Structure formats: structure tokens, C-alpha cells
Amino acid sequence: MLGYDQKNHADAELVSKLRIIAKSELNCEKERDRSRQVALEAMQKIKNYNKIYYDQKHKKPTQYKAGDYVLLRDTTTKPGEDRKLKPAYKGPYMVSKVLEKNRYVIQDIPGFNITSKPYNSILSPDKLKPWIKPINP
């Protein structure tokens, strides 16, 4: 430690203790690496299990095209309005544009506005329900 060799070797005990500490640190690093590897394998197994479970229960969303008629889930209630007697869906509306990631631009059917203010919104398929498109003669 001092840079020269002492005659009595008084620090021999200190050197041996330092060597023991260095070996134990090396063992700690190996143990940490083993623990990390076990944790990574466990996480991968859990991830695979969750994917299998999700795929079993997951229902693919309904795909709509531009021009399809849909009903919208109505979740808004006004004060004093009875939710029990209110219909669950309102509409029909028309899908005017298909966006990315299962999103749709919903608008009033041209010429058949339900309210005085035109409806225009972007919704996901969980808020929509298909409606039968009338056949034009």
C-alpha cells in the first residue's frame, strides 16, 4: 500500500483482510448476475402466460367501413333523467372516415340530423354497435 516492501510486514493482516473482501465482492457480483438471470427468466414466463391468457379471452373489435351505419353507446345522463328507462344506444349515425388504431370519425347521416347541432366525433369500436343499412330501391 505504501509502495515499498516493509521489513516487519506489519500490514500483512490488513492485506489478507482486503483480499478476503475483494473475493467476497466478486462472489456478490456473480450471485447478483445469477439472480438477475433468474428474474429475467421468471418475467419472460409470466409475460408468455399473460399473452396466452389475454389471447384466450380477447375478442377482436368489429371493423367498420366508411358509409356504415352505427349506433352509439349513450353514457351521458342529464340531471333528473332516469337512467333505467333510457335507451342504451342512440343513433343511427354514419362512419365517415376510418382512422388508424381502430378509430372512426362518426357523423350524422346527411339530411337526417338527429339534433339541430351536427354530430362529429372520433370513437373506438367499443362505443359503437352496427346498425342495418337501409336498401335503396
The rounded Cα 66 to chain-centroid distance in angstroms is 27
Tell me the pLDDT tens digit for each residue of 56-77: 998 888 899 998 999 999 888 7
Q: How many domains does the chain have?
A: 2
The answer to whether position 63 is within a domain reads: no
CATH number at residue 90: 2.30.30
Q: What's the pTM?
A: 0.59
| Helix or strand holding residue 42 (H, E) | helix 12-57
pLDDT tier, 115 (very low <50, low <70, confident <90, very high otherwise):
confident
The answer to whether position 137 is within a domain reads: no
What integer pLDDT is reported at residue 4 of this predicted model? Answer: 63
| Helix or strand holding residue 54 (H, E) | helix 12-57
Q: How far apart are the first and last CA of the chain?
A: 101
The answer to whether position 136 is within a domain reads: no
By residue range, what is the domain housing residue 47?
11-58
Measured CA to CA, the distance from residue 119 to residue 65 in angstroms comes to 18
Tell me the pLDDT tens digit for each residue of 16-35: 787 777 777 667 778 888 99
Residue with C-alpha cell 445469477? Answer: 34
70 near 91, Cβ under 8 Å? yes
